[in-house]
Amino acid sequence: MTTEIGSETEVKKESEQLEANTAQEGTEEATESQIQPDLDNPVSEKVQSSPSSQAPVSQSSPTSHKKEKEPSEGKGISRFIPPWLKKQKSYTVAGPKDEAKKREQTSTGEECATEVGEHPLPEAAAESKGNLEEATQNQQEVKADDQEEKHSVSSAETQPAKEDSKDIEVEKVSEEKEEKEEKGEEGEKRETKEVQTTDLKMEKVSQKTPKKIKTLPCKVMLLDGTEYSYDLEKRAKGQVLFDKVCEQLNLLEKDYFGLVLQENSEQKSWLDPAKEIKRQIRNLPWLFTFNVKFYPPDPSQLTEDITRYFLCLQLRQDIASGHLPCSFVTHSLLGSYTLQAELGDYDPEEHNNDYISEFQFAPNQTKEMEEKVVELHKTHRGLTPAQADSQFLENAKRLSMYGVDLHHAKDSEGVDIMLGVCANGLLIYKDRLRINRFAWPKILKISYKRSNFYIKVRPTEQEQFESTIGFKLPNHRAAKRLWKVCVEHHTFYRLVSPEQPLKATFLTLGSKFRYSGRTQAQTRQASSLIDRPAPYFERTSSKRISRSLDGAPVGITKSDQSLLKDFAVTVGPAGDKIYDSEIGGHGKLKDGDGRDEDGSLTKTPQLELTQDGKPPVVKTEMVTISDATKRTEISTKEVPIVQTETKTITYESPQFDGSAGGDAGVLLSAQTITSESVSTTTTTHITKTVKGGVSETRIEKRIVITGDADIDHDQALAQAIKEAKEQHPDMSVTRVVVHKETELAEEDE
Amino acid sequence: MAGLSSSGSSAGGLGRCSHAVVRALPESLCRQALRREKDSEVDFARAEREHQLYVGVLKSKLGLQVLELPPDESLPDCVFVEDVTVVCEETALITRPGAPSRRKEVEAMKRALESLNLNIVEMTDENATLDGGDVLFTGREFFVGLSKRTNQRGAEILADTFKDYAVSTVPVYDSLHLKSFCSMAGPNLIAIGSSEAAQKALKTMQQMSDHRYDKLTVPDDAAANCIYLNIPSKGHVLLHRAPEEYPESAKVFEKLKDHMLIPIASTELAKVDGALTCCSVFINKTSEL
């Protein structure tokens, strides 16, 4: 259900966009809306334009927003919107825009996508000042965007009113100041607040929109080749589906994985868990594939065999499809471990000539290779499936293309190259050869503009200035996709925790996209808490139960708690086993794997700067694109074709010059782990104390469940307790506190 | 079998070898062998003595099985066997040497490697050139010098041949080969000369690599070309240029406490741009099938 805050922000966004739009586009807007039908993503962003949300936009009172806008749309979106947006409502420009919105509303309706493709912008843009320009860029971004951008706005683009840009500029400036003041206080509390306001919202909503839960069928191709079907609520976010899949798979170390939109075959597009699915995929039924997204540099550090098993399945696919190239010998060796894991020891009677042909080990598998595989299989006698998987991974992880996500591009001279994003940075390939490499610590900033992708590189010893290197991607979308993948990989592998959503100051307009999942450091911490008995799982072909594993998932604990919104489960020590997993891995950024990270030791501490809540300020030079290629999009009406000014999206890696270094970092709060999914926010607080030689570990989990009309609170509590027990089977639950919040309590938590 | 498991694991397999291939020097070497500096004259008898000493170390001191190919007078550079093949694990890439006069050298080598049951890959592309002297294998990855003798296409074919490993290219300007100023001196240790060109190349390699190598900087570029071997009964073995030739560089090598150090003089072949690694190809046969 939409939270109030959500509505407000949406409204705000619209108005903000509007300003930009009005200022710059003037009469063009009508055209833009006509472009819409041509877009290839009809079901995309922009959803904010639900009918009820339009009218109140122009008003300055928050309450009026709340009342009037309880759209059926935009559920939960608010939590992903930077907090500063929330306060903006009072600065919204009223008047013509308002009308515009109304018009748009009528034309678009709830489901209608208003995404606009890249399209001409009036020359006027050139005249506008910095801030205005940025606004434009922002809006442009939205239009040109594929469906993934968070801050997209629909109504703005279609609104026809022509505005005096100067006025708007002024207003924006003041707005900006306010934002700055406000955002500081708000940041932290955002999540909770939203959760807590939910109930309120739901009531209101129910008055307006009859409560119909539409579900849509959804299919996910799993790594073992089976397909799972789910019926998802129409507005479900990616995370909901992902969580379901992981639950189905009994997978706890899930941060390495993701769902791929199946509609894009040549390049993987990842389902953004933070956004509604329907905005990201247009075809029905929804089809996804479950894939490894972040390849762990050292799989032996994964906690559970089941996780390694899924990683193996992914790698087998990667290898058989040729995405992960290997030599003949390696194909054979990996194949032999696969056989050992799937079939167990070689048995001359059972394993006749044909047993191997069901398996594909290589893109072009030869008889010779199969013979080699069999020969090697014989030598693995005695290895359990889990051991065979581990051996498989130990070998696979050393392959040079392991975990490298390749993107086609051209260099500045138009030469075809490949850009490979990996745990350590960005690799540049020409044909099969590595011709350059930029480790994350070397990269100060990554950005994209139109179909260009830029990296700004730290100066080397000889150089005095930072240099910016540009690459040409096949199209805007590819550039953005690459940028996102870089943001995600950098965050996952290099940061202790994800950056706060960008606190946009006026001069840092850009994509608000940030990787919102857990970082590798966090997921390692979290998985160090996993202490369930190894779960059973069936292997693909043999359906044999992994011999190295035993135990079964803990059953569901019943609970008679009723309605809950927020409860804490305190788990105390039980028995003699002391929970002492290595938490607070002390800036374990340098993954203790064999791979050396360029400069990781000195650079690591810099990462912590993100925790200060100060957005990194790296002074940047503006890259101007000289080739002013004119856009010649065909529209249905006569439109003046003008040069487009595309927004530059940047991602500044939170690393300053090496001087910021120090010794190995210490996690800010090593013992508090927050994980978040759409439905729950879990904060785990672990305290270890030693009393008279006996150490005691207390784990306090605070789980905030985002209210939803359909949430079964009893079940949610039961589930939470069950999970807590599963994760810490040798501890006992000593206390359960349930808070139910019905009021919007700003100061909570 | 030597999968990645044995030889690739954290470069632990670097330098492991059971066999070596060498080739005796033809008399034509003195006058006809290619060289960058024409001034100095090769003392053939002395060159031969030095080479015999070199082979003797491999054979008697280190206990390797050494295949000695006969010289071919029509191939004055044939003693430099390193350039005609790149062997990694069970696979040998027969190169297409950059100097046309040397192309026929591959034939004898190919036969020798076939006799060792290696998987042979031949570089047949007429646009490709590659000298083994431009190929530095660190145990984790390849660096290929793009020089007068080696081109991009040659490097690509090498990358296609050894798919498990990253292959990065390094421009080489002032010297004959990449390994004219560097080599591996240990599993994670790059020996590097002090010249500007050498240091620049090292920087490039460091930037290209996901791994961090230790470096051993020696004053003389030529001395940075040494041979690291890991022999089961001997441990780390390092063949390096003799103190008589490069006293300062020899001192640096002498600081390597874990290595069994074997100084070898190569004054005569050095006059025709020969370095220590040039004269041998090492093969690790873990199983005789």
Chain A positions in Cβ-Cβ contact with residue B168 (cut-off 8 Å):
433-435, 437
Q: What is the pLDDT confidence band of residue A358, given thresholds at 50, 70 and 90?
A: confident
Per-residue pLDDT for A94 more than 70? Answer: no
Q: What is the pLDDT confidence band of residue B16, given thresholds at 50, 70 and 90?
A: very high
Looking at per-residue pLDDT, the higher value among A683 and A409 belongs to A409
> Which one of A327, A333, A595 has the shortest CB-CB distance to B5?
A333
Q: What is the pLDDT confidence band of residue A455, given thresholds at 50, 70 and 90?
A: very high
pLDDT at residue A587, rounded to an integer: 30
Q: Which of A298, A324, A329 is the best residue to mutate to test the B interface, defined by the most B CB atoms within 10 Å of its own CB?
A: A329
pLDDT by residue (tens digit) across A623-659? 333 333 333 333 334 444 444 444 556 666 554 443 3
Nearest chain B residue to A430 by CA distance is B156
Q: Is residue A364 helix, strand or coil?
A: coil
Per-residue pLDDT for B1 more than 80? Answer: no
pLDDT at residue B205, rounded to an integer: 95
Q: What is the pLDDT confidence band of residue A405, given thresholds at 50, 70 and 90?
A: very high
For chain B, report the end-to-end CA distance as a whole number of angstroms.
10
Q: Quick one: tokens of A361?
A: 């080990």
Amino acid at B175: S
* B273 carries a ligand binding annotation: no
Looking at per-residue pLDDT, the higher value among A247 and A508 belongs to A247
Q: Quick one: tokens of A372?
A: 């080699």
How many whole angstroms separate alpha carbon A202 and alpha carbon A381? 60
**What would the mean pLDDT of A6-22 be, rounded to a whole number?**
40
Looking at per-residue pLDDT, the higher value among B236 and A1 belongs to B236
Is B177 in the active site? Answer: yes
Looking at per-residue pLDDT, the higher value among B65 and A708 belongs to B65
Looking at per-residue pLDDT, the higher value among A267 and B78 belongs to B78
Which of A493-497, B2-6, B61-65, B249-253 is predicted least confidently? B2-6
User: Among residues B19, B177, B236, B259, which one is catalytic?
Assistant: B177
Residue A404 CB: number of other CB atoms within 10 A? 21
Are the beta carbons of A724 and A568 closer than 8 angstroms? no
pLDDT at residue B34, rounded to an integer: 86
Amino acid at A694: V
Chain B positions in Cβ-Cβ contact with residue A393 (cut-off 8 Å):
none
Q: Quick one: tokens of B270?
A: 């050095």
Chain A positions in Cβ-Cβ contact with residue B162 (cut-off 8 Å):
327
Round the average pLDDT of chain A to a whole number and report it: 61
Q: Quick one: tokens of B283?
A: 């093969």
Cβ neighbours for A504, distance < 8 A, ≥ 6 positions apart: A82, A84, A179, A510, A512
pLDDT at residue A645, rounded to an integer: 45
A and B: number of Cβ contacts within 8 A: 94
pLDDT at residue A736, rounded to an integer: 67
Are the beta carbons of A337 and A372 closer than 8 angstroms? no
Per-residue pLDDT for A78 more than 50? Answer: no
Write the DSSP assignment of A291-325 as a string of letters.
EESS--S-GGG-S-HHHHHHHHHHHHHHHHTTSS-
Looking at per-residue pLDDT, the higher value among A33 and A304 belongs to A304
Per-residue pLDDT for A538 more than 50? Answer: yes
Q: Which of B7, B164, B167, B212 is the best residue to mutate to test the A interface, defined by the most A CB atoms within 10 Å of its own CB?
A: B164
Is B259 in the active site? Answer: no
Are the beta carbons of A77 and A6 closer than 8 angstroms? yes
Cβ neighbours for A513, distance < 8 A, ≥ 6 positions apart: A148, A149, A150, A484, A487, A649
Q: Give the dihedral of Cα atoms A28, A32, A33, A36; nearest 10 deg.
A: 170
Q: What is the pLDDT confidence band of residue A399, given thresholds at 50, 70 and 90?
A: very high
pLDDT at residue A25, rounded to an integer: 38
Per-residue pLDDT for A611 more than 60? Answer: no
Nearest chain A residue to B166 by CA distance is A400
Tell which residue, A12, A146, A125, A26, has the closest CA to residue A639: A26
Tell which residue, A304, A262, A271, A237, has the closest CA to residue A78: A237
pLDDT by residue (tens digit) across A731-749? 666 666 665 554 443 444 3
Q: What is the pLDDT confidence band of residue A360, given thresholds at 50, 70 and 90?
A: confident
**What would the mean pLDDT of A727-732 be, rounded to a whole number?**
65
Cross-chain Cβ contact A433/B10 below 8 Å: no
If 0-12 CB within 10 Å is exposed, 13-18 middle and 19+ buried, where does residue A578 land?
Answer: middle
How many whole angstroms separate alpha carbon A666 and alpha carbon B275? 49
pLDDT by residue (tens digit) across A185-208? 443 434 333 333 334 444 444 445
Chain A positions in Cβ-Cβ contact with residue B144 (cut-off 8 Å):
433
Cross-chain Cβ contact B166/A332 below 8 Å: no
Q: Is residue A445 helix, strand or coil?
A: strand
Cross-chain Cβ contact A432/B159 below 8 Å: yes
Which of A86-100, A344-358, A486-500, B141-155 is predicted least confidently? A86-100
Looking at per-residue pLDDT, the higher value among A235 and A548 belongs to A235
Residue A224 is classified by DSSP as T
For chain A, report the end-to-end CA distance as a whole number of angstroms.
22
Amino acid at A58: S
pLDDT at residue B238, rounded to an integer: 96
Which of A408-417, A650-659, B64-73 is predicted least confidently? A650-659
How many Cα atoms within 13 Å fall on the side-chain side of residue A635?
23
Tell which residue, A479, A481, A416, A488, has the closest CA to residue A448: A479
pLDDT by residue (tens digit) across A418-452? 999 999 999 999 988 999 999 999 999 999 999 99
pLDDT at residue A3, rounded to an integer: 37
Q: What is the pLDDT confidence band of residue A97, given thresholds at 50, 70 and 90?
A: very low
Per-residue pLDDT for A703 more than 60? Answer: yes
pLDDT at residue A495, rounded to an integer: 83
Per-residue pLDDT for A290 more than 70? Answer: yes
pLDDT by residue (tens digit) across A164-180? 333 333 334 344 444 44
> Which one of B165, B203, B212 has the shortest CB-CB distance to A400?
B165
> Which one of A327, A330, A433 has the shortest CB-CB distance to B156?
A433
Per-residue pLDDT for B10 more than 60? Answer: no
pLDDT at residue A523, rounded to an integer: 80
* B49 carries a ligand binding annotation: no
* B170 carries a ligand binding annotation: no
**What would the mean pLDDT of A230-252 be, rounded to a whole number?**
88
Are the beta carbons of A700 and A570 closer than 8 angstroms? yes
User: Among residues B78, B88, B182, B278, which one is catalytic?
Assistant: B278
Q: What is the pLDDT confidence band of residue A359, given thresholds at 50, 70 and 90?
A: confident
Helix (H), strand (E) at residue B252: helix B247-254
Are the beta carbons of A414 and B185 closer than 8 angstroms? no
Per-residue pLDDT for B45 more than 90? Answer: yes
Is the peptide bond prior to A285 cis by the omega test (within 30 degrees of 0)? Answer: yes
How many whole angstroms separate alpha carbon B109 and alpha carbon A160? 78
* B23 carries a ligand binding annotation: no
State pTM to two decimals. Answer: 0.63
How many whole angstroms separate alpha carbon A643 and alpha carbon A622? 18
Cβ neighbours for A37, distance < 8 A, ≥ 6 positions apart: none
Query: What is the percent of chain A where pLDDT is above 90?
Result: 23
Cross-chain Cβ contact A333/B160 below 8 Å: no
Q: Quick one: tokens of A344?
A: 């167990």
Crossing angle between the packed helical segments A385-396 and A328-343, to the nearest 10 degrees:
160
Across the beta sheet with A227-233, the strand order is A227-233, A215-221, A286-292, A257-261, A269-270
Q: What is the pLDDT confidence band of residue A567, given thresholds at 50, 70 and 90?
A: very low
Are the beta carbons of B218 and B249 closer than 8 angstroms? yes
Cβ neighbours for B148, distance < 8 A, ≥ 6 positions apart: B98, B176
pLDDT at residue A498, rounded to an integer: 77
- Residue keyed to tokens 């200022």: A23
Chain A positions in Cβ-Cβ contact with residue B140 (cut-off 8 Å):
398
pLDDT at residue A346, rounded to an integer: 87
Per-residue pLDDT for A280 more than 80? Answer: yes
Which of A175-189, A264-278, A706-720, B4-18 is predicted least confidently? A175-189
User: Measured at the alpha carbon of residue B230, what is the angle toward residues B224 and B236, in degrees to the nearest 5?
Assistant: 65
Tell which residue, A515, A481, A33, has the closest CA to residue A260: A481
